[in-house]
Structure 1
Amino acid sequence: MKKFYQLLLILGLVMTPFLTQAHVKWFTTVTPQKETIEHILSPEFMGLALLAAIVLAALTLIIPRMTEWGPVKKMEDRLSSLRKYSRHLLKYGTAVALMIQITNGTLFAPEFHIHNTLVVVLTWVVIGLLLIPHHIATKLGSAILLGLFIYVTIDQGVFHMLDYGFYVAIIGVLLVGHTRLEHIGFPFLYLGTGLSLCWVAVEKWVYPGMALDIIANHHVPTFGFEPALFLVMAAFIEFVVGYLLVVGILNRVLGFVVTCIFILTTMLFGMTEVVGHFMIHIVLIIFIIEGVSFYNPPIKMHKTKLDQFIFVFLNFIFVLATFLLIYYRFA
């Protein structure tokens, strides 16, 4: 089991360049060109899809054994003791993320430049309200933030803003605090973040030119793979990360590995990376702390290991096909 964790850490370091392209639009000026569906569904794509489905399904057999390992149990206990701080971390982390964004002239993402004075003022109002240690102020700030998200969505388009759907989940968590619906907040955060990562991953398959430009101009290592194949693999890894969050597999370890990866990517892209992914860091830290204590993941609907294996395998293929077809249809 110890060797497995060492392998996981090494894999995380190797994955760093795969996830550096999380939002390719931030780092390239290449005009997007839609790939044909025939080229997207290449033999390499279908082979990787089957491999990913098998690996994910196998995790249903591996994860329970991992939790029985002594060091893992100690880590679980230590992290569980920090759960009482999760909502505070999300609240104040959101305020800090907004500060970083607005001081750089953007909101929600580096590509959304803000020139409207009222939007700037309202963003600072949101920051101030989130810093007040009272749930009423938090709800008021969250409501204004939701209004700002709707404003940016109207300006940029719904399709574009699906990349940042996790902000809706964050706002939802903050709004339901100290209410009867408080228990559904963090599950919604898992779902929203996972689906956002899946959506962003599909962009690399549909518009590969942008990511290939990043690989070439930023000298992203491809470890001997052809850039086109490397790109397909990168998108699969990102899609799998999102899927893992949704189905509730490996959440704490996943959060730790991916957080380390995003920190390492800052060395490649600097401040743009910080502005764009700071909020994701906060969310992933919360996942590390919370685990799945509050979340009844879909996989738990199936009791036997064989049923869970089959469910994850088939469900991954279905989710992958659905995301790809919907994105391609409206891209």
Structure 2
Amino acid sequence: MKWFCAYDIAGQPRSLENVLCLNFEWLVGLALVCLMFGCLAEGTPLGTALLNALDRVTTRIRTDTELLVRATVGFFFVSLWGLGNVILTPELTTDVAWIPWLQLGLAACLIWRRTMPLTGLGIVFLFSSATAQYGVFHLADYPVFLGVALYLILRGLEIEPFGIRPLDIVRWTAAVTLMWASVEKWAYPQWTDPLIAAKPSMTMGASPELFMQAAGVIEFTLAFALIWTPLVRRTAALILAGVFISAVFEFGKIDAIGHSGIIVVLLGIAADDVRAKVRVRHAVMAPAWYAASLGVFLLLYYLGHAALFGGLSELPVI
């Protein structure tokens, strides 16, 4: 939303009592039904057949995941160099003349595997620089950049700290990024009003308010699914990648550049063939973990905003 519409991070978000309305509860309930269905299907012959089909279809992506990430991130940084005054995302601008050239250099470092860690360190530097300029709360939208940075560093050094795969690290940061962004859709639905007015077909006949509630719930559910069982997370990654790719045709090259990194990450997650034994408790516990995640992100967003912009005396009533 920040790339195409006016926004005010310091503005007062919609109150939680207005966010947690009846429509919101129905949408969350429907999302939980879909999530539990995916968990229950995973341990069945149908789930196994779907995983086998995914393995066959995504073989080439799985084999070349690292190469795809390097090529896509390289394209991303070359595009930012062409734009000239952008740090990582379209709304993060800078007047520092050498930043574009640094980003071009980071793209060049992706040509060789040994220099991939330099690109990762450069992303961390750019993220830190943007945080210093725009604040922690603004950059909380983009932890996936840190995940990509760690992926490049660890793959370049060929290490897996504590046995954790680099792809899993970037998967978790992608999930956090999208769950945080979904809360923003509920907290500031008015930011999208100009976009909906210009493209009313986006809402598919729903009211703008219901559309934003549904968009946030769908995004949060799919993001949560990225940290769940193999079939669920791979399916969620495919759906999210499809959403991001389809948005490019609607919003153009800025959207293509800005979302290129997360699209390639999602494709890598969809192609990941690591499997785990799925038990009934995964379906039974899904609502509890989902509710806990929803509560944590709502609390972090609203309490963090109140502490940074409104003062602790203005904490929201929950």
Can you give the 5+ residue segments of structure 1 that lack an aligned partner in the other structure?
Answer: 1-23
Q: 1:30 to 1:161 in 2, by over 3 A?
A: closer
Counterpart among 93, 104, 117 of residue 139 in structure 1: 117
For 2:16 and 2:106, how far apart are their aligned partners in 1? 43
Matched ranges for 1:170-181 at <5 A: 170-177=148-155, 178-181=158-161
Normalised to the residue count of structure 1, the TM-score between the two structures is: 0.83
Whole-angstrom CA distance in 1 between matches of 2:100 and 2:203: 40
SS at 1:253 equivalent: helix
Out of 195, 202, 205, which is 1:214 matched to? 195
1:192-249 deviation per Cα after TM superposition (whole angstroms, max 9, x unaligned): 0011000001001111111233212322432332211111011101111111112235
- C-alpha distance in structure 2 between counterparts of 1:149 and 1:274, whole Å: 20
Normalised by the length of structure 2, the TM-score is 0.86
Alpha-carbon shift at residue 58 of structure 1 (Å): 2.3
Instruction: Report the equivalent of 2:87.
Output: 107
The residue number in structure 1 matching 2:272 is 290
Matches within 5 A, 1:13-162: 24-29=1-6, 31=8, 32-65=11-44, 66-69=46-49, 73-80=52-59, 82-105=61-84, 106-131=86-111, 133-135=112-114, 137-162=115-140
Superposed CA offset, 1:267-286 (max 9, x none): 22112211211111211221
Q: Distance in 1 between matches of 2:279 and 2:204?
A: 39
Q: 1:265 to 1:82 in 2, by over 3 A?
A: closer
Deviation, 1:81, is 5.7
Alpha-carbon distance in 2 for matches of 1:74, 1:217: 40
- Check the 8 A contact 1:49/1:317 in 2, yes or no: no
Quick check: 1:214–1:220 contact (8 Å CA) kept in 2?
no
- Contact 2:61–2:268 under 8 Å retained in 1: no
- Equivalent residue number for residue 328 of structure 1: 302
Question: Displacement, 1:90?
Answer: 1.4
CA distance in 1, matches of 2:303, 2:196: 26
Q: Counterparts of 2:54 and 2:29 in 1: how far apart (Å)?
A: 33
SS in 2 for 1:315: helix
Cα distance in 1 between the residues matched to 2:262 and 2:160: 26
**Which of 208, 228, 251 is the aligned partner of 2:233?**
251
* CA distance in 2 between partners of 1:314 and 1:151 (Å): 37
Preserved CA contact (<8 Å) 1:172 1:185: yes
Percent of pairs with identical residues: 23
User: Is the contact between residue 41 and residue 47 of structure 2 (CA under 8 Å) also seen in structure 1?
Assistant: no
Aligned residue for 2:309? none
Alpha-carbon distance between aligned partners in 2 of 1:77 and 1:58, rounded to the nearest angstrom: 23
Distance in 2, matches of 1:85 and 1:139, equals: 18
| SS of match in other structure, 1:329 | helix
Is 1:163 the counterpart of 2:141? The answer is: yes
Q: Which residue number in structure 2 is paired with residue 273 of structure 1? A: 255
Moved >4 Å (runs of 4+):
30-33
Matching of residues 5-16 of structure 1 within 5 Å: none
Taking the aligned partners of 1:72 and 1:58, their CA distance within structure 2 comes to 15
CA distance in 1, matches of 2:93, 2:127: 13
Partners in 1 of 2:53 and 2:36 — Cα distance? 26
Deviations 1:121-174 (A, max 9, x none): 22122111112x232x11122212211211111111111111111010011111
| 2:166 is the alignment partner of 1:188 | no
RMSD: 2.1
Which runs of 5 or more structure 2 residues have no equivalent in the other structure? 306-318
The match for 1:304 is 279
State the number of aligned residues: 297
**Which sits farther off after the overlay, 74-83 or 316-325?**
74-83
Is the Cα contact below 8 Å between 1:212 and 1:228 reproduced in 2? no
1:250-303 deviations in whole A, cap 9, x for unaligned?
233333332222222122211221121111121122122224x1x76xxx6xx6
In structure 2, the partner of 1:11 is none
Q: Using a 3 Å threshold, how does the CA distance of structure 1 residues 120 and 224 change in structure 2: closer, same or farther?
A: closer
SS of structure 2 residue aligned to 1:164: coil
User: Quick one: distance in 1 between partners of 2:176 and 2:182?
Assistant: 10
